Copies of this chain bind each other. A is one copy, B any other.
Amino acid sequence: MAVCVNCRHHGLCVHRVAIFSPLSAEESHRVAELIVHKEYHKGDFIMTEGEQLSRLVIVQEGQVKAFRSTADGREQILYIFSSGDFFGEKNLLRNQPASYSVQALVDTCLCMISRSDFQQLLRAHPEIGMKIMEELCRRLERLETAVESLGARDGDARVSSVLLEFAERYGEEHPRGVLVRLPLSRQGIADYVGLTRETVSRKLSSLQAEGVVELIGNKKLLIIDKTALEMGSSQD
């Protein structure tokens, strides 16, 4: 694992991260000194449930999934972290082992700050604490929505709303709708919305048959009738 190529080419990774926005230019440079870079390949594990982590990890480039494994071999995906997102804060703030595993979805470059540097930074800049709090609140709200989805909505609604979520985060304009590059495989989507691979496949096929979406290979999808998805995602 070499030093991150991106950081050398594209300037300081510190600038990509919202929680460090309160820092001045000079301070950013000083923080950049504290950062360790690491590259991972698609499929590599970055951390494992139960592990005692001692760094804050920031996604510089790429995409990772955070998930829990159940006794019977299923996975439940909790978060998808992309460029600018961070994780490991729980371990630093409460000195607790990781509550989920993290695995690279594509080749990924990460930035890491040691516990002591992070805590010093927090003390020196309380506004960073505020930024982190805001992010934790955003994350709480996402999980609240996930709980509502998994607990009170049927499969169709869950698939519709995950497509809308992906469109929001990874979609781009297209003459006939919104083109979405899916961050997850069918199995991954299934692990995210609490269904099986086969069921997700069927739901997507019927959305296509209804003319709501168009499947483009396995990694892309075109949303033609966004309104239909919005109707469907809030359950009939």
Contact = CB atoms under 8 A, between A and B. Distances in A.
B100 A144 contact: yes
Contacts of A30: none
A225 to B, nearest CB: 19
A4 interface: no
B151 A193 contact: yes
Contacts of A132: 133
A103 interface: no
Interface residues of A, number: 42
B76 A147 contact: yes
A132 B145 CA distance: 21
A202 interface: no
A144 B132 CA distance: 18
Given A130-B129, A144-B100, A74 B152 contact: yes
Contact of A148 (B76, B90, B136, B152): B76
